[in-house]
Amino acid sequence: MKISECPVNKLGVSAAQKLIDRVVAEARKGRLKKRNLVWLEATGCSGNIISLLNGSNPDFRYFIRDMVNLVYNNSLMASEGEAAFEHLVRVSTADFILAVEGAVATKDKGLYNVIGNWKGKPVTAIDAVRWLGERAAHVIAVGACATHGGPSAAKPNPSQSVSVQSVLKRKVIKLPGCPCHPDWFLGTLAHLLLYGQPLLDEFDRPLMFYGTLIHDLCPRRSFFEKGIFAEKLGEKTCMFKLGCRGPVTRVDCPVRQWNDYVNWPIGDDTPCIGCAQFGFPDAMEPFISYDIT
């Protein structure tokens, strides 16, 4: 039996889809009100919203049509300037869920990341995260930069970027990954809509996605146990001695996979670089090593 065919693993992979389907069914029956969602892009590459746009089960249209009212996103909304920022002002007095991708630049009072203008004055990401984070029903940090600083806070960190949690005095649900898989976000959001906060680990990550080490699910684990290690890329054995970070990274990539669920790094003979683990990228370097002594 393949690891991906294990009943326990198949249950974990299908959990997000079952939650999402339940949200839509309850909303269509009038038993669940669609809630407002603000997706705020701070210091980063916008990779997480792009990842969400590439989601397929469900796709992005399904997400904004049937799950939530997406009232703000820096990149996707048609409005711009102060007209765009008016959406944030209006929603801040109502019920909403806040998703933040990107780290929060703090140097020079946040002027390294201005996300908009309001009444003729620049609005920094740190101002927006604090203002909206204090008012949101739930806050979700999406991706490595938002959860712990990620690449945006990597050395030498000239913008003095920090995590979303660092500037808020409240619970923040953290979805590390570079980028975050669409399922990790949509499944977490669906759980919030149906039942409230999902079960989290000690780092505030949802256990349904981050509860198991990649190493424990890896189809090459048997090679590790037998001490059979690859010496170069392309070899089909364990890549631990090439720098694979699967033994320290908690997430379900081996069974969920990426790009319409067809592959993942190790399946393409590339070591895991630990992008879903706190400390990435600095703590995960070097990403590959040929020192196999």
Owning domain of residue 143: 3-209
Chain position carrying tokens 């765009």:
84
- Token couple for 110: 């946040």
How do the pLDDT tens digits run along the chain, 293 residues long? 444 444 445 556 677 778 888 887 887 787 888 899 999 999 999 999 999 999 987 889 888 888 899 999 988 988 877 888 888 888 888 899 999 999 999 999 999 999 888 888 899 999 999 999 999 999 999 999 999 999 999 999 999 999 999 999 999 999 999 999 999 999 999 999 999 999 999 999 999 999 999 999 999 999 999 999 999 999 999 999 999 999 999 999 999 999 989 999 999 999 999 999 999 999 999 888 876 55
Same domain, 232 and 108: no
- Token couple for 234: 């392309």
Please report, for the domain that includes residue 138, its CATH number: 3.40.50.700
Same domain, 106 and 239: no
Helix 7-28 with 182-194: angle, nearest 10 deg: 50
In a domain? residue 293: no
In a domain? residue 289: no
- The last residue of one of the domains, among 209, 231, 260, is 209
Q: Is 135:91 a contact under the CB 8 Å cutoff?
A: no
Domain count, the chain: 2
Q: What is the pTM of this model?
A: 0.92
Same domain, 64 and 148: yes
Same domain, 36 and 173: yes
In a domain? residue 87: yes
- The last residue of one of the domains, among 209, 232, 257, is 209
- The last residue of one of the domains, among 209, 243, 258, is 209
Same domain, 159 and 38: yes
Same domain, 52 and 182: yes
Q: What values do phi and psi take at 39, rounded to 5?
A: -110, 110
In a domain? residue 290: no
Same domain, 241 and 178: no
In a domain? residue 132: yes
Please report, for the domain that includes residue 227, its CATH number: 4.10.480.10
In a domain? residue 266: yes
Same domain, 145 and 280: no
34: Cα separation from own chain's centroid: 22
In a domain? residue 292: no
